[in-house]
């Protein structure tokens, strides 16, 4: 997801909190940079401050709608009157949240928009004896609970969503981490090593040389 918010302390605080919810978050502080990132990356959710500098948030929202991108827009603003909310929604925003807001409400709205941005996951993801419950954040293998760290859980979820297809390390970096991760890092390999160890034998995550990883 992308946060476009010119109040840097607020933007960075939101990003930190959302990353703790196992979300991959990029942050920008003006509308021009937001449009640049949206043109490069395939986001599920855009948290958009309406009063952005350089390019106004309204214009960013219009550009998103005109582009046909699947990204869902949650507009943030200090204007809490009904005409302002209606105007934001008419621009094409999918949801609207006025400042100040409760972080828990923002998280709930982001998750709801993310579900609408992509095909709905089944209630549980299952393959090769592994059962992952996204809502409860639980993983079991052959009925045995498997406690996982946040990135291990996110990585396993992406592999299960692929339903046997190969997922590249680059795709995993994009979906589970965020833009600040070094593209040449061995983070994916290290996280996979830990995940494999926790899942136990027999091994189910296969490395496909030169291509990526899959769950057989």
Using one digit for the tens of pLDDT, what is the confidence trace for 97-125?
888 899 999 999 998 898 776 655 567 89
| Whether 150 and 84 share a structural domain | no
CB contact at 8 A, 153 and 134? no
99 preceded by a cis bond (ω within 30 of 0)? no
Cα separation, 20 vs 33, whole angstroms: 24
Percent of the chain topping pLDDT 90: 52
- Note whether 208 and 110 are same-domain residues: no
Q: 202-215 pLDDT, tens per residue?
A: 999 999 998 999 99
* pLDDT score at 204: 93
**Helix 57-67 vs helix 82-91: angle between axes, to the nearest 10 degrees?**
30
| Domain span holding position 52 | 2-115
What CATH code is carried by the domain that includes residue 16?
A: 3.40.50.2300
Query: Of the candidates 67, 92, 115, which is a domain's last residue?
Result: 115
Where on the phi/psi map is residue 163: left (φ > 0), alpha (ψ -120 to 50), or beta? left
The answer as to whether 120 is a domain residue is no
As a whole number of angstroms, the distance between CA 69 and CA 137 comes to: 29
- Whole-prediction pTM: 0.62
- 156-190 pLDDT, tens digit per residue, is 999 998 889 999 988 888 788 766 666 567 888 89
Does 84 map to a domain? yes
Same-domain status, 184 and 108: no
110 shares its domain with 7: yes
Pinpoint the alpha helices (H) of the chain: 8-19, 31-40, 57-67, 82-91, 103-117, 150-161, 169-176, 187-199
pLDDT at 111: 87
Is 198 within a domain? yes
């Amino acid at each position: 997801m992308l946060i476009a918010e010119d109040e840097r302390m607020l933007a960075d605080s939101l990003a930190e909190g959302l990353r703790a919810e196992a979300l991959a978050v990029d942050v920008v502080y003006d509308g021009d940079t937001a449009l640049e990132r949206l043109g490069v990356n395939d986001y599920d959710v855009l948290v958009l401050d309406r009063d952005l500098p350089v390019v106004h948030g309204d214009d960013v929202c219009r550009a998103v709608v005109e582009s046909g991108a699947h990204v869902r827009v949650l507009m943030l603003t200090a204007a809490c009157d009904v005409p302002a909310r209606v105007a934001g929604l008419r621009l094409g925003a999918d949801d609207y949240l006025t400042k100040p807001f409760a972080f828990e409400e923002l998280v709930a709205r982001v998750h709801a928009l993310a579900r609408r941005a992509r095909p709905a996951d089944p209630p549980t993801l299952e393959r090769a004896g592994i059962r992952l419950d996204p809502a409860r954040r639980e993983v079991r293998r052959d009925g045995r609970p498997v406690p996982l760290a946040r990135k291990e859980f996110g990585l396993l979820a992406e592999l299960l969503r692929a339903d046997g297809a190969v997922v590249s390390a680059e795709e995993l970096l994009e979906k589970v981490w965020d833009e600040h991760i070094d593209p040449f890092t061995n983070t994916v390999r290290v996280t996979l090593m830990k995940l494999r160890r926790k899942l136990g034998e027999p091994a189910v995550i296969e490395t496909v040389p030169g291509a990526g990883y899959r769950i057989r």
